[in-house]
Chain A
Amino acid sequence: MKLPETPPLVATIARFTLRQARQSRLLVLAGILLVLAFVLTGLAGAVALTEHAAIQAVLLAAGLRVGAVGLIALFAVSACLREQDDRTLDLVLALDAPRSHYVFGKLAAFALIAVALAIACALPLLIWSPPMAVAGWALSLACEAWLVATLGLLLAFTFRQPVTALAALVAFYLLARGLDALLLLARDPVFVHDGPFRAFIESGIALIAWVMPGLHRFTDAAWLGMGGFDPALLLPVLGQTAVYGALLAAAAAFDLYRREF
């Protein structure tokens, strides 16, 4: 059986986006992030009485997770907005190819960048954690970074302003990561206030949760600690990535088709 060939425009856009990543020194920034995180977590490990390895691995992983996601979000939003501002996008859309090919090309490049970032972040963790746990953590980080980059693409088209798009992305990301805690708080509040406002908050959070990705299940630094890593933890990560990635891609394509450039 012959596999369908990748449309040339998809491959071209993917290559162009990878070149943008190289020119924006994304991997150099990732290297600086690694060094900074290494120094700070080394300090935490030095003051610990016991569990040095677990403390360093867990703190380093948490810092690298935020750093990697921040880097790819900045890159995705700025790259898409620059193409709109310098009219490169107009040239691409004038070609005889569906607009969805632009989205597919971008998503393919973002996936490769996410994998490269995840591998770079995972390598130093091998010092303190078993390879299987680090590999699972890296795969989960790649999925999370890809979802964030895809969201950045959608928000860059929706808002067309860097500050608004990035602010919306940060708010979305924080909400997605703290969603389980918010749901728990709504269900079991610290200060119990019975009234219409509480019901409104509860139902509001519960409704939002339906259309948010469950990032609180992704890339948990505890996988690298003493608790051990169960590969079954990756199943919900991969499932959510496929489902929510498809939703974001469809939404980005939908929005792109409606835009007048």
Chain B
Amino acid sequence: MRLSASLAAARTPTRSLRAVPVGVQVAFALALSAQLLWYALSPAPGSERRALPPAPPVSLLRLAAFGEPAALARAGTLWLQYFDQQPGDSVPWRELDYGRLRAWLERWLTLAPASEYPLALAVRLYGQVSDPDRQRIMLDFVHDAFLERPGTRWRWLAEGTLLAKHRLKDLDLALRYARDLADRTEGMDVPYWARDLQILLLEDMGEYEAARILIGGLLASGEIEDPGEVRFLEQRLEALSRGKERGDNAPRP
């Protein structure tokens, strides 16, 4: 049997177009026109140690998300957080490429702008590295993210400010952040202790004192509802208080 004959035999028998009632034909034409009109009116629309791979463009990640950018961002943030715990090995933060790390954090924050998780990782995890250059990269990321949404991200810059002063020992940078924090949140619902950080810096209080004020303020404000985060901050506060009693240097988080 020739190919054309085989294809003809396999084809489902159909009736002529005249078998379709006029009403159905009109309904189909109208529905198709409505879809085209709808689209036209719709708004237009992101054991060898493995190194951290370069972050792909936001548009590619949006494609991979299949319409769930927030879900992909959450899963991606967790992946990034546990990247240094590779199977059979643990990559020290000092060996991570912080340029790439920042790019990944930026991607996840872009995909889920309401999430503060990437900022928490930058300040409380990767910002704790004992390398000034890497710390600056994380602080710069937090500062840039704050400038985009000062009303919701102020507390991360507040923590970043203390990090710059006490761990990085860069008073100028800390003051710049504290001033931005005060200037960019004017008229917003931000507590006084955060806006007054620049005063604390200028008075050059002790490292533990400032950290304890910040954490105590965060806990007292009642803004943090997540029990895990509250527990984490309470442990930090307790460690700082113990350090103050002993009079030694800042305890490692």
Contact = CB atoms under 8 A, between A and B. Distances in A.
B199 interface: no
Nearest to A261: B13
Given A53-B226, A216-B67, A254 B28 contact: yes
Contact of A221 (B19, B71, B78, B125): B71
Contacts of B15: 257-260
B45 interface: yes
A94 B153 CA distance: 66
Contact of A58 (B42, B62, B74, B121): B74
Interface string B166-203: 00000000000000000000000000000000000000
B42 A247 contact: no
Nearest to A157: B12
Contacts of B65: 178, 181
Contact of A50 (B38, B39, B114, B229): B229
B31 interface: yes
A163 B28 CA distance: 27
Nearest to B113: A227
A160 B21 contact: no
Interface stretch (A22-30, A109-117, A237-245): A237-245
Interface string A117-144: 0000000000000000000000000000
Contact of B60 (A54, A65, A185): A185
A139 B25 CA distance: 31
Contacts of B82: 47
A209 B14 contact: no
Contacts of B110: none
Interface residues of B, number: 60
A182 B67 CA distance: 11
B13 A220 contact: no
B120 interface: yes
A199 interface: no
Interface in B8-67: 12-17, 19-21, 24-25, 27-28, 30-32, 34-36, 38-40, 42, 44-46, 56-57, 59-60, 62-67
B70 interface: yes
A218 B228 CA distance: 32
A260 B12 CA distance: 8
Interface in A50-90: 50-55, 58-59, 61-62, 65
A222 B24 contact: no
B131 interface: no
15 contacts: A50-B116, A50-B228, A179-B45, A180-B62, A184-B46, A185-B59, A188-B59, A210-B40, A221-B70, A225-B115, A227-B70, A250-B24, A250-B28, A250-B32, A260-B12
Given A100-B21, A178-B66, A257-B15, 12 more contacts: A50-B226, A51-B116, A55-B78, A181-B65, A184-B45, A190-B57, A190-B60, A222-B69, A253-B27, A254-B24, A257-B19, A260-B14
